Amino acid sequence: MSVLNDISVECTIVLGSTTLPIRQVLKMSRGAMIPLDRNEDDPTQLFMNGQLVARGQILVDGDRMLLEISELVSAKR
């Protein structure tokens, strides 16, 4: 067993973002649609511990969603 197996990494997949006033959020009900700043052809971003590491496309396989990595982002130094 590798010592790396016990290290936790926060993984965040970002489809898009938006800014909404809290009053609009409070008025939302089930099924509400939130417009994002990207469309379906734009790459999805993958962050590890808050750092952008890759971009890709979301794929759907039955009842599962997958991220297909298409580009690794080089670290800024």
Q: What is the CATH number of the domain that holds 43?
A: 2.30.330.10
**Domain range for 67:** 3-72
Residue 38 lies in a domain: yes
* 8-state DSSP, 16: -
Inform me whether the pLDDT recorded for 1 exceeds 70: no
Q: Assign 3 a pLDDT band (cuts: 50, 70, 90).
A: confident
Average pLDDT score over residue span 60-65 = 94
Distance CA 37, CA 16 (A): 6
Show the CA angle centred on residue 30, arms to residues 42 and 16, nearest 5°: 15
pLDDT in tens, 8-51: 999 999 999 999 999 999 999 999 999 999 988 899 999 999 99
Residue 75 has pLDDT above 80, yes or no: no
Residue 77 resides in a domain: no
Residue 74, pLDDT > 90, answer no
Domain count, the chain: 1
